[in-house]
Structure 1
Amino acid sequence: MKKSIFISLLLAFSLTGCGASQTIHQFEQNPQKVCVAVHKDVREGVLKTIKSQFEAHNIQVTTLAANYNLSHGRYSPLLLSDKTNNCDAIVFYTANWNWDLALYMSFANIWATDKTMTHRLADAKYIGGKGFNFGKFINADEKIRELVDKVLVSGLKSGT
């Protein structure tokens, strides 16, 4: 009897974990043209999804070469192009994957600055669940689409 109670409690605690969270700060006004700073260390599908979702909102997208330097847990992107004059916003992004029974996106951050990179215009951050929380196994493509939708003033329904 005691053994079955112990196993039941152990199972209950193992299935709980920290839930996912996200924070969103919208643009005050949607940009007409964004320049996306390519992050080479992030899966290529993330860039493709970001571009297609902005384009779904009739926002022109141009990509720019960039280096993302990680220091003290934060990325400091450096643009390798000065072709930002036609951009209403510069979009940066990062995403991390972890392994736990399967590969899952544990973190994503998309943020936009003005073309001088001095003022943050919008950002969306997703932090996946931890522990034995099966809710962390989300569709990464759908989550990136949702984050882009939510930073825009009137987002499209992304089916999530």
Structure 2
Amino acid sequence: MAKFGLPSRGFLMAVASVSVLTACAIKQQVQSVSGLASDEICVIKTADVRAGFEEALAKSIRAQGYKVKSLPSGSSITECPTTVTYRANWRWDLALYMAFAEIRVFKAGQDSGSAVYDSTSGGGNMNKFIDADKKVAELTTALLPRR
């Protein structure tokens, strides 16, 4: 029972729980691409990202019905009609997990869509321990139209 207008202990615990949960947010946002004219998508290699990420990305793009051409790091986004760039990083917290991933699609050099997965504020949220290959497939499916 609250005395002198002070909040009850239960109320304070509820506020603390909500604060902890919002501080442990995992964010995902996809801006889908529309109207790809080409059936080939070029993927520009990112040297400092684990090789498995690019393999999962290429596999996911193929699953959407496209051919994939790998371009070396530093290639121009205008080298192909449709080009994809990516960034990703992993962190350690009880186990190694993908903490962040961003996939961007460019049509004729113009930014045309993106998919971002961000668990860097995930803190104590155990949902951050995902299967990176499945997350890349989920992002790619939401990002690219099926051919």
Aligned partner of 1:121 in structure 2 is 112
TM-score, length-scaled by structure 1? 0.72
Aligned partner of 2:54 in structure 1 is 47
Indicate yes or no: 2:138 matched with 1:131.
no
Aligned partner of 1:150 in structure 2 is 142
Aligned partner of 2:87 in structure 1 is 94
Aligned partner of 2:29 in structure 1 is 23
Distance (whole Å) between structure 2 residues aligned to residue 122 and residue 91 of structure 1: 10
Given that 1:64 and 1:81 are in contact with CA atoms closer than 8 Å, whether structure 2 keeps it comes out as no
Secondary structure of 2:29's aligned partner: strand
Secondary structure of 2:72's aligned partner: strand
Cα deviation, residue 19, structure 1: 2.1
Indicate yes or no: 2:102 matched with 1:109.
yes
Cα deviation, residue 88, structure 1: 2.8
Distance (whole Å) between structure 1 residues aligned to residue 63 and residue 145 of structure 2: 14
Given that 1:24 and 1:151 are in contact with CA atoms closer than 8 Å, whether structure 2 keeps it comes out as yes
Give the RMSD, CA atoms, in angstroms: 2.6
Which residue of the other structure, out of 45, 57, 72, is the alignment partner of 1:65? 72
Indicate yes or no: 2:29 matched with 1:38.
no
Distance (whole Å) between structure 2 residues aligned to residue 131 and residue 24 of structure 1: 22
Distance (whole Å) between structure 2 residues aligned to residue 143 and residue 40 of structure 1: 20
Q: Once the two structures are superposed, what CA deviation does each residue of 1:13-41 show, in whole Å capped at 9, x if it has no partner?
A: 6x744221111111111441110000111
Q: Once the two structures are superposed, what CA deviation does each residue of 1:105-131 show, in whole Å capped at 9, x if it has no partner?
A: 11000001124x2x1111100101521
Question: Unaligned regions of 5+ residues in structure 2, if any?
Answer: 1-8
Residues 135 and 122 of structure 1: is their aligned pair in 2 closer, same or farther, counting only changes over 3 Å?
same
Runs of 4+ in 1 over 3 A off after TM superposition: none
Distance (whole Å) between structure 2 residues aligned to residue 110 and residue 37 of structure 1: 11
Percent of residue pairs identical: 32
Distance (whole Å) between structure 2 residues aligned to residue 107 and residue 55 of structure 1: 22
Residues 29 and 95 of structure 1: is their aligned pair in 2 closer, same or farther, counting only changes over 3 Å?
same
Distance (whole Å) between structure 1 residues aligned to residue 81 and residue 28 of structure 2: 25
- Name which one, 1 or 2, has greater alpha-carbon Rg: 2
Residues 104 and 89 of structure 1: is their aligned pair in 2 closer, same or farther, counting only changes over 3 Å?
same
- Report the residue type matching 1:105 in the other structure: M
Aligned partner of 1:70 in structure 2 is none
